[in-house]
Amino acid sequence: MLKKILQMSANKWFWLAFLGLSISFEVIALFYQYVLDYMPCVLCIHVRIWVLAMIIVSLLALMVYRYWLGLFIMQLLMTGMTAGLLERSYQLFGTERGFLLSGCSMESGLPGWFALDDWLPSMFKVWEPCGYTPELIFAVTMAEALIVVSFILLVINALLTLNMLVNRLLKKNDRPG
Protein backbone atom coordinates (compact mmCIF):
# COMPACT_ATOMS: atom_id res chain seq x y z
CA MET A 1 0.00 0.00 0.00
CA LEU A 2 2.76 2.44 0.97
CA LYS A 3 4.61 1.62 -2.23
CA LYS A 4 1.53 2.51 -4.29
CA ILE A 5 1.10 5.79 -2.41
CA LEU A 6 4.76 6.69 -2.93
CA GLN A 7 4.44 6.05 -6.67
CA MET A 8 1.28 8.07 -7.16
CA SER A 9 3.02 11.06 -8.79
CA ALA A 10 3.70 8.86 -11.83
CA ASN A 11 -0.06 8.67 -12.37
CA LYS A 12 -1.95 11.30 -14.36
CA TRP A 13 -4.81 11.15 -11.82
CA PHE A 14 -2.50 12.50 -9.14
CA TRP A 15 -1.68 15.51 -11.30
CA LEU A 16 -5.33 15.98 -12.29
CA ALA A 17 -6.26 15.93 -8.60
CA PHE A 18 -3.55 18.48 -7.85
CA LEU A 19 -4.77 20.63 -10.73
CA GLY A 20 -8.33 20.41 -9.44
CA LEU A 21 -7.28 21.27 -5.91
CA SER A 22 -5.27 24.27 -7.10
CA ILE A 23 -8.09 25.55 -9.28
CA SER A 24 -10.46 25.09 -6.32
CA PHE A 25 -8.18 27.29 -4.20
CA GLU A 26 -8.34 30.06 -6.80
CA VAL A 27 -12.11 29.73 -7.22
CA ILE A 28 -12.66 29.90 -3.46
CA ALA A 29 -10.45 33.00 -3.21
CA LEU A 30 -12.35 34.70 -6.04
CA PHE A 31 -15.69 33.67 -4.52
CA TYR A 32 -14.72 35.32 -1.23
CA GLN A 33 -13.55 38.41 -3.11
CA TYR A 34 -16.39 38.92 -5.56
CA VAL A 35 -19.39 37.29 -3.88
CA LEU A 36 -18.70 37.73 -0.16
CA ASP A 37 -16.80 41.02 -0.60
CA TYR A 38 -13.58 40.09 1.25
CA MET A 39 -10.86 41.98 -0.58
CA PRO A 40 -7.35 40.44 -0.76
CA CYS A 41 -4.25 41.74 0.97
CA VAL A 42 -0.72 41.49 -0.42
CA LEU A 43 -0.09 38.14 1.29
CA CYS A 44 -3.35 36.80 -0.13
CA ILE A 45 -2.17 37.84 -3.59
CA HIS A 46 1.17 36.10 -3.02
CA VAL A 47 -0.73 32.93 -2.06
CA ARG A 48 -2.73 33.23 -5.28
CA ILE A 49 0.50 33.51 -7.26
CA TRP A 50 1.91 30.34 -5.67
CA VAL A 51 -1.35 28.54 -6.41
CA LEU A 52 -1.21 29.75 -10.03
CA ALA A 53 2.31 28.32 -10.24
CA MET A 54 0.96 25.02 -8.90
CA ILE A 55 -1.67 25.02 -11.65
CA ILE A 56 1.01 25.58 -14.30
CA VAL A 57 3.26 22.83 -12.89
CA SER A 58 0.30 20.43 -12.73
CA LEU A 59 -0.50 21.11 -16.39
CA LEU A 60 3.13 20.59 -17.39
CA ALA A 61 3.29 17.39 -15.35
CA LEU A 62 0.28 16.05 -17.24
CA MET A 63 2.32 16.46 -20.41
CA VAL A 64 5.47 14.72 -19.14
CA TYR A 65 4.29 12.26 -16.46
CA ARG A 66 5.40 9.26 -18.55
CA TYR A 67 9.03 10.39 -18.64
CA TRP A 68 11.06 9.99 -15.46
CA LEU A 69 13.20 13.12 -15.86
CA GLY A 70 10.26 15.33 -16.80
CA LEU A 71 8.18 13.95 -13.97
CA PHE A 72 11.04 14.34 -11.49
CA ILE A 73 11.52 17.99 -12.50
CA MET A 74 7.78 18.64 -12.13
CA GLN A 75 7.71 16.87 -8.76
CA LEU A 76 10.71 18.90 -7.60
CA LEU A 77 9.06 22.11 -8.81
CA MET A 78 5.81 21.21 -7.07
CA THR A 79 7.72 20.64 -3.84
CA GLY A 80 9.18 24.13 -4.25
CA MET A 81 5.75 25.60 -5.00
CA THR A 82 4.20 24.02 -1.92
CA ALA A 83 7.16 25.25 0.19
CA GLY A 84 6.53 28.78 -1.11
CA LEU A 85 2.83 28.39 -0.39
CA LEU A 86 3.59 27.25 3.16
CA GLU A 87 5.91 30.22 3.76
CA ARG A 88 3.30 32.74 2.57
CA SER A 89 0.59 30.91 4.54
CA TYR A 90 2.76 31.13 7.66
CA GLN A 91 3.24 34.88 7.08
CA LEU A 92 -0.50 35.31 6.62
CA PHE A 93 -1.29 33.25 9.73
CA GLY A 94 1.34 35.09 11.78
CA THR A 95 0.02 38.45 10.67
CA GLU A 96 -3.55 37.43 11.47
CA ARG A 97 -2.57 36.16 14.93
CA GLY A 98 -0.26 39.11 15.62
CA PHE A 99 2.99 37.23 16.23
CA LEU A 100 4.59 38.36 12.96
CA LEU A 101 4.95 41.85 11.63
CA SER A 102 4.87 41.14 7.92
CA GLY A 103 5.35 44.70 6.76
CA CYS A 104 2.28 44.46 4.57
CA SER A 105 1.67 47.24 2.15
CA MET A 106 -0.77 48.05 -0.58
CA GLU A 107 1.85 47.19 -3.21
CA SER A 108 2.22 43.67 -4.57
CA GLY A 109 6.00 43.83 -4.56
CA LEU A 110 6.14 42.20 -7.98
CA PRO A 111 8.86 43.25 -10.41
CA GLY A 112 7.91 45.11 -13.59
CA TRP A 113 8.63 42.08 -15.76
CA PHE A 114 6.12 40.03 -13.72
CA ALA A 115 3.39 42.59 -13.11
CA LEU A 116 0.46 40.22 -12.63
CA ASP A 117 -1.33 42.95 -10.68
CA ASP A 118 -1.24 45.13 -13.82
CA TRP A 119 -1.95 42.36 -16.31
CA LEU A 120 -4.81 40.74 -14.41
CA PRO A 121 -5.98 43.14 -11.68
CA SER A 122 -9.28 41.29 -11.20
CA MET A 123 -7.30 38.44 -9.67
CA PHE A 124 -3.97 39.86 -8.48
CA LYS A 125 -4.62 43.44 -7.35
CA VAL A 126 -4.05 44.23 -3.66
CA TRP A 127 -7.19 45.80 -2.22
CA GLU A 128 -6.58 46.09 1.50
CA PRO A 129 -3.87 45.83 4.17
CA CYS A 130 -3.14 42.57 5.95
CA GLY A 131 -4.68 41.76 9.27
CA TYR A 132 -7.34 39.10 9.11
CA THR A 133 -8.75 36.47 6.82
CA PRO A 134 -12.39 35.42 6.59
CA GLU A 135 -13.83 32.39 8.31
CA LEU A 136 -14.40 29.42 6.06
CA ILE A 137 -16.35 26.92 8.15
CA PHE A 138 -16.55 25.93 11.84
CA ALA A 139 -14.74 29.17 12.83
CA VAL A 140 -11.61 28.13 10.89
CA THR A 141 -10.09 31.12 9.13
CA MET A 142 -8.65 31.04 5.65
CA ALA A 143 -5.13 31.53 7.08
CA GLU A 144 -5.56 28.59 9.47
CA ALA A 145 -6.81 26.32 6.69
CA LEU A 146 -4.07 27.44 4.31
CA ILE A 147 -1.25 26.72 6.72
CA VAL A 148 -2.54 23.21 7.46
CA VAL A 149 -3.26 22.33 3.83
CA SER A 150 0.01 23.77 2.52
CA PHE A 151 1.97 21.85 5.18
CA ILE A 152 0.26 18.59 4.18
CA LEU A 153 0.90 19.29 0.48
CA LEU A 154 4.56 20.06 1.16
CA VAL A 155 5.06 16.84 3.12
CA ILE A 156 3.36 14.76 0.40
CA ASN A 157 5.37 16.36 -2.39
CA ALA A 158 8.66 16.19 -0.51
CA LEU A 159 8.11 12.48 0.19
CA LEU A 160 7.18 11.80 -3.43
CA THR A 161 10.23 13.68 -4.69
CA LEU A 162 12.54 11.86 -2.29
CA ASN A 163 10.95 8.54 -3.20
CA MET A 164 11.49 9.16 -6.91
CA LEU A 165 15.13 10.03 -6.34
CA VAL A 166 15.83 7.07 -4.05
CA ASN A 167 14.12 4.62 -6.41
CA ARG A 168 16.14 5.95 -9.33
CA LEU A 169 19.40 5.67 -7.42
CA LEU A 170 18.56 2.13 -6.28
CA LYS A 171 17.75 1.08 -9.85
CA LYS A 172 21.09 2.46 -11.05
CA ASN A 173 22.91 0.53 -8.30
CA ASP A 174 21.12 -2.71 -9.29
CA ARG A 175 22.55 -2.66 -12.82
CA PRO A 176 25.45 -5.05 -13.44
CA GLY A 177 28.85 -3.36 -13.66
In order of their start, the domains of the chain are 2-174 (1.20.1550.10)
The strand pairing partners of 135, in sequence order, are 141
User: Average pLDDT of 121-138?
Assistant: 82
pTM: 0.85
Which carries the bigger pLDDT value, residue 177 or residue 127? Answer: 127
Long-range interactions of 135-144: CB distance < 8 A, separation 24+: 141/96, 142/32, 142/92, 143/89, 143/92, 143/93, 143/95, 143/96, 143/97, 144/93
Q: What is the pLDDT of residues 78-128, one digit of tens each?
A: 999 999 999 999 988 888 877 777 667 767 677 778 878 778 888 888 888
